Structure 1
Amino acid sequence: MILRRGILVVLAALIVLSCAALGYQAVHRGGAPWSTDNPTQDARDVVMGQARTFMSTVNTYGPDLVEGQTMPTYRADVEKLVTAKFKADFEQNVPYAEATVIQSGLARTTKVDATGVGDLDLDRGRATVLVAGDLTNSFPDPKAPKDPSKRTSADAQPYRVEVTLVRQGGVWKVDDFTPVGAEAQQEAQQ
């Protein structure tokens, strides 16, 4: 009988200590330990979505966007997604893409296969996202050069890039992007 009471006292003490430990954890985890709200995961989802949108936008253009000698809608769509620093770089390089589209009829589309957060610093408002996908270039069909609907596509080219984002005014904007992996190593060797 004494043994049973001793075991009961030990079990009751363990239950009380367990409840106290859970209470302590609840208080020190922000007061809502069972909440499904996760600001870090929400931010991860936002930066991955922004990187996906950027890569799809910056790598999708063609003759249908040309007005005069530029692609103003393309420029505006990309510039909405980037910082002022990156906008300056983009404005220096976009004339080459526009010239290629105008001179050869190039159209480029992209498919984003995967995104993943490489780094996320909510305090500093900085993130890096790895993006992988395929680019496909197409040109006017040489057999029907006057029919813009007839095009010849090249093989899809895989890409992997690291997109750097910064938070400005509560909005994540692209600040830079660089190739990573085998492609980057080949470029560095040349």
Structure 2
Amino acid sequence: MTERARRGESPGTAAAAADQPRPPRWRVVLAGLLALVVVVCVAMLVWLSVGGRGSSAGGLDLPDEREQVMSLTDQFVKRLGTYSPDMLDDSGQMPAYRDQVREVITPKFAADFDKEVATAEQLVAQGRITRTADVFATAVSSIDDDSARVLVAGAFTDSYAQGTGKKATTVDQEPLPFRFTVDLVLIDGKWLVDDFTPVSSPDDAAEGGTDPGTGTGEGSTP
């Protein structure tokens, strides 16, 4: 008799239980992969928490500063990645767009921004491009008393107008994911963005990722 039979179950019940199919192999593999993803995510969080430049606690002893730099990074990316034809003036520039970005960046960075913003304005004027930015997550990589580095991930969503008059339609593009490292500095008691860099994964490099400035690949900048 089986163990179930000895405990009062009928032999038929025990046999039926023994005949239950095992979980498909793909489920076992999937469970293993999910466990691996959890381990990798935990490892990344640990790395971020101990990677502080000027703080032995990885910036955990500066909670207010951490919140400030993450909030500013969120604002910066959304301001940098949000524009539309409505912002164009008669000269083909977007003064409101320029102002919204300049408010959260350093004078040094503003000089570089002014050289590049004309490209975005040209795309908007010629292609009637509208872009919005969504931020999915931010994390402080390092922070000290007057500088910080924040990692940010999100996606740009572009659309453009096609046709004119009553036949005009709006064509939405697939969201374009991005990953940036954003460098911030404290100037006169105010955190400002001093630079940012698109981050590419090893898979992107292996596939010959596109130039971040072209707006045609992952991590593209406005």
TM-score bracket for this pair, using the shorter chain length: 0.7 to 0.9
Give the TM-score normalised by structure 1: 0.72
Report percent identity of matched pairs.
37
Distance 1:71 1:147, change over 3 A: farther
Query: Contact between 1:137 and 1:154, CA under 8 Å: does it hold in 2?
Result: yes
Query: Partner letter of residue 90 of structure 1?
Result: F
**Alignment pair present for 1:40 and 2:59:** no
Matched ranges for 1:31-180 at <5 A = 40-68=62-90, 69-122=92-145, 125-142=146-163, 145-146=164-165, 150-180=169-199
Q: Following the alignment from structure 1 to structure 2, what is the Cα–Cα distance between the partners of residues 86 and 148?
A: 42
Query: Partner letter of residue 140 of structure 1?
Result: A
Higher relative contact order (CA 8 A, sep 6+): 1
Distance 1:110 1:175, change over 3 A: same
Q: What displacement does 1:187 show?
A: 5.1
Q: What displacement does 1:87 show?
A: 0.2
DSSP 3-state at the match of 1:60: coil
Distance 1:59 1:150, change over 3 A: same
Distance 1:96 1:42, change over 3 A: same
Q: Following the alignment from structure 1 to structure 2, what is the Cα–Cα distance between the partners of residues 88 and 57?
A: 17
Deviation readout 1:145-188 (Å, 9 max, x if unpaired):
23698411110010000000000011100000001132873358
Q: What displacement does 1:92 show?
A: 0.1
4+ residue runs over 4 A deviation: none
Q: Following the alignment from structure 2 to structure 1, what is the Cα–Cα distance between the partners of residues 177 and 167?
A: 26
Q: Following the alignment from structure 1 to structure 2, what is the Cα–Cα distance between the partners of residues 168 and 148?
A: 51
Query: Contact between 1:140 and 1:148, CA under 8 Å: does it hold in 2?
Result: no
Q: Following the alignment from structure 1 to structure 2, what is the Cα–Cα distance between the partners of residues 163 and 148?
A: 42
Give the TM-score normalised by structure 2: 0.62
Name structure 2 gaps, 5 residues minimum. Answer: 1-59, 212-222
Q: What displacement does 1:141 show?
A: 3.0
DSSP 3-state at the match of 1:102: helix
Q: Following the alignment from structure 1 to structure 2, what is the Cα–Cα distance between the partners of residues 58 and 103?
A: 19
